Structure 1
């Protein structure tokens, strides 16, 4: 909001955009640059903050009007309500737990640390920022460099870290551009893939790539000490259990790292020697035409090329000769498969046409639609995802929801054949506490929650009671209010508490040993599921600004 002739603009306060502290700082600068004197600050403030904040301020100053208060009093009232002073110990905890995220730059990380340190009250802020900055860095190389510097200051640490970060990015970009210019250049031709690096020795695997034999970094798979090992899981040679492809299967498609192509090898995510049973329910089939033949192929985004068995190829392409290829196929676990050849076919899919290479292998199995075809043919992904969910699954889900409809009702359930009873000590005497005042802004929400609980039979209205406990309204994330009784001042000291020994963590782990399936259940408002004995209900009477209510549930 800005009047004619005034410098700048101040919008109504919005707590979703900025804090009240930040808003007041901007407001003071607005008053200063426009020479607004002290007498006009209150009218200007009440005009600028907007209707929502003014309504809150009116509740805080009731029965007085906000215009009767001074500028300092108004800002302090709103400060205490909107931005209460945080606890130092909690702020320091958040500060010391903050580490640099994977996608976060050094400068952004320092900015976040400065923001978190605002309410930490450190004696030496620069030393605290330096220590947390060094300890929280994600890059080990930068961290080691800073730890080796004597008399390290925050400015020096930041300068060194930014320089090393930029140098690392520049080096990666340079290597990428060099790689694009020399490696894996493909010449289009009928049935033959050639590389300009064909005569060169295959490059060693970069140190940061994982070896497919052991899943560790820093060495070439051909030099891995597990290359002759027998996997105890799949009983195949060339890898260990930790790197077994059966561990990386999801929905019938195995994930692969395609950044290592030794001897111009194309990796296949599915082992062509075997077809696993029980996968048909998860397989995604694609219907297309190959040289006019209607063909069903299994979609495999982990496979670098599209393949077909020799048996299927002979029945579909009678008399067609295969073109020799130097390409070598390899399964994820490392077994090599030499294709019998490659054939160029005309593929048609939903008004799309392309001439593509199809590699033929000796082993049996379904035809695989790999990534080389996906680069030329755009699949109907929305339709595929809809089909993969399955109408049968939807029908099963509806039957399950109908069968257990009682579990999905909006009202709170009730335990059967068991009720809670509270036992008092022999010398216990009733205690009655008055209702505590609540903020005007929370009254409508508290009244709505009381009415809701009364309609559900959880609360009952009473006129008199020997016991009465004040309530503590807790605002939840969705803006609604949870009504809690402060029973520590009334009933709790007078109760006979059951002493139940808590199990040790070692005992829990011992009981869980050998388990394969675990589950947990999070009951909505779990305590309200348990009914109370009639003799215990008077003890759980709460005192609100609307009067006395008695709990029928725990």
Structure 2
């Protein structure tokens, strides 16, 4: 009996609606190399066998009046590349990298890796490292890390910039943060023409979220009792993430300091699927009972579907920071 030959690696089915040909093609060629498959007839058979029904139908139509099985492997690869290849605009791709900014949740290495991915179709050629270095530094968040990078001379390399940024971030992690949380922060509101919310951690350290639109919702009765609920315990595992989110909101101008507020609402930090934190407030225990609710009747589902009949384009809005965006 002949021994069954084992193959290195595994290739999944190629579906034009799901997969990217620019990624599938090099994987296919590497599979052939790793398994010493040199026969062009066998290569063609494997390629056609890996196609989904829609993909095979597409290549069948492209080959007419000749069947795909009568084309050579190289001819099929050329047809696929011409038909399924990604058409890109160099300047559109460069606009993406030039407008990219480092996310607060990214490390220096993560930021550099994302820039390399954005530069894939920019055709920087020999200027790639210079373009990446410049965007890595300029796209950094304002703060001690950017200030440290700005001190360098223009001869600095991308690798050196990443090393400096990583070292500075590590040093900042050991320093005391602007928010020394001993539990869950409070959201504070004060009644008046301007309604403000703050994430207060101590008598001398607080943050304020401006919310002018809520002022019209406060009841006018002077007998309303102001409530300030004590802070709830904050899990230590979430402490650093909550601090980072408060710092991010401060840098963006979403929150600003306030020295005193008559209202204190417990904060509810919500852990999102990507590991970041969304800052919410438990308004049911303080503010909600004193609001004048606009009791507007919600439309029926049937009426909504009837009004959308014949529509061709729809928009889905995802409020990643719903509390702050609504405010």
- TM bracket, shorter-chain basis: 0.5 to 0.7
- The structural deviation recorded for 1:256 is 2.0
If each structure's helix is expressed as a fraction of its own residues, which one has the higher value?
A: 2
* Cα shift readout 1:417-461 (whole Å, capped 9, x = no counterpart): xxxxxxxxxxxxxxxxxxxxxxxxxxxxxxxx9xxxxxxxxxxxx
- Number of matched pairs: 249
If each structure's strand is expressed as a fraction of its own residues, which one has the higher value?
A: 1
- The equivalent residue for 1:166 is 170
- The equivalent residue for 2:28 is 27
1:56 paired with 2:58, answer yes
- The equivalent residue for 1:89 is 91
Contact 2:149-2:161 at 8 Å conserved across structures: yes
Counterparts of 2:306 and 2:132, CA distance in 1: 51
- The equivalent residue for 1:410 is 309
Counterparts of 2:67 and 2:111, CA distance in 1: 45
- The structural deviation recorded for 1:79 is 2.2
Contact 2:13-2:50 at 8 Å conserved across structures: yes
1:259 paired with 2:201, answer yes
Counterparts of 1:149 and 1:86, CA distance in 2: 35
The 5-angstrom pairing of residues 330-479 of structure 1 reads: 334=260, 371=266, 393=296, 396-398=297-299, 408=307, 410-411=309-310
The 5-angstrom pairing of residues 96-495 of structure 1 reads: 96-122=98-124, 123-150=126-153, 151-172=155-176, 246=192, 249=195, 254-262=196-204, 279=218, 303-305=228-230, 334=260, 371=266, 393=296, 396-398=297-299, 408=307, 410-411=309-310
Output the TM-score relative to the length of structure 1: 0.38
The DSSP-based 3-state class of the residue aligned with 1:84 is: coil
Contact 1:11-1:49 at 8 Å conserved across structures: no
**Bigger radius of gyration, 1 or 2?**
1
- Cα distance 1:120–1:266, how it changes in 2: closer, same or farther (>3 A)? closer
Unaligned runs of 5+ in 2: 210-214, 232-257, 268-281, 316-327
The DSSP-based 3-state class of the residue aligned with 1:89 is: helix
Q: Which runs of 4+ in 1 moved over 4 A?
A: 14-18, 243-248, 297-300, 368-372, 388-392
Output the TM-score relative to the length of structure 2: 0.60
Contact 1:42-1:70 at 8 Å conserved across structures: yes
* Cα shift readout 1:208-228 (whole Å, capped 9, x = no counterpart): xxxx9xxxxxxxxxxxxxxxx
Contact 1:57-1:78 at 8 Å conserved across structures: yes
* Cα shift readout 1:158-177 (whole Å, capped 9, x = no counterpart): 1111111122223358x98x
* Cα shift readout 1:29-84 (whole Å, capped 9, x = no counterpart): 11111111223111111112332322222222233222222222222222233233
- Cα distance 1:334–1:90, how it changes in 2: closer, same or farther (>3 A)? closer
Counterparts of 2:135 and 2:61, CA distance in 1: 42
Contact 1:299-1:370 at 8 Å conserved across structures: no
- The structural deviation recorded for 1:278 is 6.2
The DSSP-based 3-state class of the residue aligned with 2:175 is: helix
Counterparts of 2:295 and 2:63, CA distance in 1: 61
- The equivalent residue for 2:69 is 67
Q: RMSD between aligned alpha carbons? A: 4.6
Contact 1:266-1:305 at 8 Å conserved across structures: no
- The equivalent residue for 1:229 is none
Moved more, 151-160 or 98-107: 98-107
- The structural deviation recorded for 1:28 is 0.9
User: 2:82 aligned to 73, 80, 83, which one?
Assistant: 80
Contact 1:6-1:34 at 8 Å conserved across structures: yes
- Cα distance 1:389–1:110, how it changes in 2: closer, same or farther (>3 A)? farther
The DSSP-based 3-state class of the residue aligned with 2:200 is: coil
Higher relative contact order (CA 8 A, sep 6+): 2
